[in-house]
Every structure is written in C-alpha cells, then in structure tokens.
C-alpha cells in the first residue's frame, strides 16, 4: 500500500467492487494544490463539496474529519515536495445492484497525493493554443456547477486530440453556447471588462473561477457572467483559462485568432500569485 493513498482514514490501495463510485460514478471529487504547507483555498473546496453533497443527497463528512485525514496523507508522504496535487473523492459508498441508493448510506472517502504537473513556463508567459471540441455538454441543472464523478463528456472531448500542439479544448453546450474547457474555466476581455460563461445549466463552478471574479472586483474591473456564443469569444481582446492547479493561462491561438498576453490578464495573474 502506497503512502499517497488514504481510504476512510487508513492507508489502502483498493475499493469494494460494489462501491457506487465505481458502479455509477455516484459521487464527487475535488482537485487541490498543496503548497507552502497547506491546501490552497481549502475552505472554498470544502464549501463546493458541501454544495455537491446537498445536490446529490450524499452525507457530507465533517471538515474536522477531512482535516485529520489530510494530515495523515501528508505525514505518510515523507519526502513531500514544495508543490503537490491532492485529489479527494467522495462516493455514496457500497450498495447492491440497481440505481436505488442503499437505506444506510456510508460514504467512501479517498485522498490521494500526486506529483505537481510540469507545465512549460511559456504557457504562462506566451499563452497556449486552444482547440474547439466536437463533443457537446448536455444541460442538466441538477448536476451543474458541482464536480460530480460523471466526466465522460470531458473524457471524450480530451481524446479528440493526441498531440501537444493544443493545451486545452473548448467545449460548447447543445445550443452552441461557450461553457468551459475540458479541465478549466474560460474568460475573455473586451476593453477592460471580463466575461465568463454561466454554469447554471452545465459546466463546473471552478474554485479559481470564483477567485478570479473576486480579484477582478477588487481591482475595479467590470465583470459579466452570462450566455455567450463563439463570436463573443472570437471578437474579444484576450482569452484566458483557469483552474486550481494551473492557475491562469493566457490563450495565444484559437481557430483563426491570435492574441498576445493582455495586460489585464497579467494583472490578474500577479494578484492571484500574491
């Protein structure tokens, strides 16, 4: 059993085959950055976990319990690097065959520790190439915003390309509205106003997305959240992506458009780092 995996508070490397996370994707997850001896934005991740548990009807573990399991995970990793990725998965636990939840729900808690991705420095300084995915996101307000375990749409979209030419793929919904990228939220600028799509019908309300909107307000930038199409993005003065691990990546190329890193994007990235 590896030091980088804790299941229900104990080192482990397996799950029951009856676990509903395996059987049905019945659960939630959070992907977090460990840096400077702490999980960044842990309170925000836990708040989103609570919201997801409420939407799915899964009992949410106490934060104190998860804090203690986090400490055990870190203590077991004796040679802890400065930065790591921590993933937390919560499933509804084991149940019999069939979709009906068991009467006595005992959720499964899984913490795992991973190396931090070795992203090229140019992703931050020069920007990344973004492609348009053919896979569309289905609208479902009951699942929108939360990080549930059903990620097949993102899996299909990410497997549309196999080369390193593109760092990310943009995803639309069935009505051709821009929603997000496969692993990140998307923003763009017109003048000094910042736009990002609504995630009330589909998509993930990223922790970094919320932080960026908050930072933009602190820096006195106007922001707007709504429904947008590709023309809104293509006629913008700059595009960028965000998530809790990569932070902020400017987009340099998308379809036939080319952007140089916008000063507003650089301001947001600097404020985020500070």
Report which secondary-structure segment, H or E, holds 153. Answer: helix 152-158
The residue written with tokens 């991740």 in the block is: 45
Beta strands in the chain (DSSP E): 5-7, 10-11, 27-35, 38-39, 83-91, 108-115, 128-137, 168-173, 178-181, 185-190, 193-197, 222-226, 238-243, 247-254, 257-258
Distance (Å, whole) CA 202 – CA 198: 8
Distance (Å, whole) CA 265 – CA 246: 14
Tokens of residue 82, six digits: 């400065």
Distance (Å, whole) CA 187 – CA 212: 10
pLDDT of residue 95: 84
Burial classification of residue 113, based on how many CB atoms lie within 10 Å of its CB (0-12 exposed, 13-18 middle, 19 or more buried): buried
pLDDT of residue 192: 82
Tokens of residue 254, six digits: 């998308």
Report which secondary-structure segment, H or E, holds 124. Answer: helix 122-125
Distance (Å, whole) CA 210 – CA 12: 34
Distance (Å, whole) CA 5 – CA 198: 35
Handedness of CA 214, 215, 218, 220 (dihedral sign): negative
Residues of the chain with pLDDT under 50: 1-2
Tokens of residue 16, six digits: 């029951």
């Amino acid at each position: 059993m590896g030091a980088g995996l804790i299941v229900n508070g104990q080192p482990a490397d397996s799950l029951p085959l009856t676990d509903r996370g395996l059987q049905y994707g019945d659960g939630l997850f959070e992907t977090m950055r460990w840096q400077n001896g702490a999980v960044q934005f842990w309170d925000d991740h836990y708040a989103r976990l609570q919201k997801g548990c409420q939407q799915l009807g899964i009992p949410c573990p106490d934060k104190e319990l998860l804090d203690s399991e986090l400490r055990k995970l870190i203590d077991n990793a004796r040679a802890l690097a400065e930065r790591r990725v921590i993933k937390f998965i919560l499933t509804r636990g084991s149940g019999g065959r069939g979709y009906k939840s068991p009467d006595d729900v005992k959720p499964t808690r899984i913490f795992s520790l991973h190396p931090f991705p070795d992203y090229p420095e140019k992703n931050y300084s020069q920007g990344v190439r973004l492609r348009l995915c053919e896979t569309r996101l289905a609208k479902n307000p009951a699942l929108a915003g939360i990080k549930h375990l059903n990620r097949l749409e993102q899996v299909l979209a990410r497997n549309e390309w196999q080369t390193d030419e593109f760092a990310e793929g943009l995803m639309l919904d069935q009505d051709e509205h821009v929603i997000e990228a496969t692993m990140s939220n998307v923003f763009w600028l017109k003048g000094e106003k910042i736009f990002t799509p609504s995630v009330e019908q589909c998509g993930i309300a990223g922790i970094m997305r919320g932080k960026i909107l908050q930072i933009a307000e602190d820096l006195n930038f106007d922001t707007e959240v709504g429904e947008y199409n590709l023309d809104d993005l293509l006629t913008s003065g700059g595009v960028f992506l965000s998530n809790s691990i990569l932070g902020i990546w400017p987009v340099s190329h998308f379809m036939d458009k080319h952007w140089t890193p916008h000063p507003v994007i650089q301001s947001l990235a600097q404020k985020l780092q500070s």
